[in-house]
Amino acid sequence: MKLHPIDLPLGKKQNLQGTSKITFAVGVAFLFLTAVPLYYPLISYPLFLLSNLSRSSSPSSLSSSSSNVVEDSKNHITTKKCDIFTGEWVPNPSAPYYTNNTCWAIHNHQNCMKYGRPDTDFMKWRWKPDDCELPIFNPSQFLELVRGKSLAFVGDSVGRNQMQSLICLLSRVEYPVDVSTSTDELSRRWEYINYNFTIENIWSPYLVKAREADPNGPAGTGLFNLYLDEFDEAWTTKIDEFDYVIINGGHWFFRPSMFFENNQLVGCHYCLDKNVTDLGVYYSYRKAFRTAFRAINSLKNFKGITFLRTFAPSHFENGLWNEGGNCVRRRPFLSTETHLDGRDLELYMTQLEEFKGAEREGVQTGKQFRLLDTTEATLMRPDGHPSKYGHWPEENATLYNDCVHWCLPGPIDTWNDFLLEMLKMEKMGSFDWRLHLSDRKMKFK
């Protein structure tokens, strides 16, 4: 069986050459964080949601970036600050809300139950923000909110993983029909007939123009030419029609790649060509997000809201992905048991910095950007990956332990809890939680 690129999390050369660079990056990141506390957005959280829109859109809630409307038991209106993305995983015996048998949308390689994963506890957690509650996904409410609208996932297979989670969560109310115009398995379009709601995933793992220069490449995992300052028209020509666009990108940047800017070769990553400077993964990651955001800001007809779904850490332990590394934990971390560091921190910081720049420019261009900040919650779920249960055991030679994607049902169902919560805030007009990166203090424990 041929190794399919979407199943391959990382470029093979990552480990041979990357170690010293990554160690260095970690050091730099820590220095930076110790010296300069990082500020990033405060998300306000409306407990009172859709029950009374007239009250919630009062001028005071619109003008405050950090407060939101809460109704107490005596109908007194107060404001409450809550960052929904900082919290803990707590047991939720009622989960899951769909199974591999009720939902056909689960990609084979994330259908862990099908391939014999013996435990189910990893499905039975919910995210509890420190200062408020995050409601469990309500499919009817979601579909009402998106009636007549459209949502595009732009990015890689982890983005598709979230889309399939969303389809499964919504399946208690309605299944979509496939209205794809292409036969490309990587890009599908779905229609919810009763709600006139469209979902599409658009394959663009690098977010910028990319061409596979050599299917084998120096590591047998392909060599890609990345045009870091050029738009990937696969999505930039398509998103005008969408109300919501969720962009994501991550693990593909670790593959061997040649970097072009202004059509000139400027460097590479793991290209093993001594004449070309290895500029490292953070270089292309930053440039790619910068270009993707520039594309969005340049689209005259795009009126939608752009969500950046932040980097989702992988959890290989006891070895790298191609050296027998695996993810065998059976419960989430507490916030005190882990912290964002090293490569994950660097990628996350890069995204936040580029997001901040995009948001600033968006003020001029009239574009709206939101941070779907899944990184911390996701970091705390080493137990949610397929590991060896993304395929049959005898397919051993072609598929590694997958500690990158997520079993469904599983932890990333919570990404859609976040998404619904953010859509509710949009609906209420309490979008002045709009992410000003200076509003929220990020604590790296």
Ligand X SMILES: *[C@@H]1O[C@H](CO)[C@@H](O)[C@H](O)[C@H]1NC(C)=O
Binding site for ligand X (CB under 6 A): 52, 54-55, 100-101, 111, 113-114, 148-150, 196, 273, 275, 394-397
Query: Min. distance of Cβ 291 from ligand X in angstroms?
Result: 27
Catalytic residue among 278, 402, 413, 439: 402
Active site residue 131: no
Q: Of 108 and 318, which CB lies nearer to ligand X in the complex structure?
A: 108
Residues in the chain, total: 445
Q: How far is CA 184 from CA 93, 189, 210, 261, in A?
A: 38, 10, 17, 29
To the nearest whole angstrom, how small is the minimum distance from the Cβ of residue 58 to ligand X?
9
292 vs 407, beta carbon nearer ligand X: 407
CA 363 to chain centre: 24
Residue 83 known to be catalytic: no
Conformation bin of residue 352: beta by default, left when phi > 0, alpha when psi is -120 to 50: alpha
Closer CB to ligand X, 52 or 141, in the complex: 52
User: What distance in Å separates the CA atoms of residue 139 and residue 175, rounded to the nearest whole number?
Assistant: 11
Structure tokens at 287: 């440039």
Cβ proximity to ligand X: between 149 and 238 the closer is: 149
**Least Å distance between CB 52 and ligand X?**
4
- Taking the least distance from each CB to ligand X, the nearer of 140 and 396 is 396
CA 95 to CA 92: how far, in whole Å?
Answer: 6
Sign of the alpha-carbon dihedral angle for 248, 250, 255, 260: positive
For tokens 């980097």, the residue is: 311
Closest distance between ligand X and the C-beta of residue 103, in Å? Answer: 9
Q: Nearer Cβ to ligand X, position 151 or 358?
A: 151
The letter for the amino acid at 411 is P
Whether 405 sits among the annotated catalytic residues: the reply is yes
Shortest separation between residue 413's beta carbon and ligand X, angstroms: 17
Single out the catalytic residue among 383, 405, 413, 439. Answer: 405
Distances (CA, A) of 173 to 44, 146, 168, 192, 248: 29, 14, 10, 10, 27
Q: Which of 337, 297, 285 is nearest to 315 (CA)?
A: 337
Contact 280, 38 (CB under 8 A): no
Nearest approach in angstroms of CB 102 to ligand X is 9
Q: How far apart are CA 117 and CA 92, in angstroms?
A: 19
Q: Helix, strand, coil shares of the chain as percentages rounded to 5?
A: 35, 20, 45
* Residue among 65, 157, 387, 430 flagged as catalytic: 157
Instruction: Write phi, then psi, for 260 (nearest 5 degrees).
Output: -115, 140
Q: Which residue numbers are catalytic?
A: 157, 402, 405
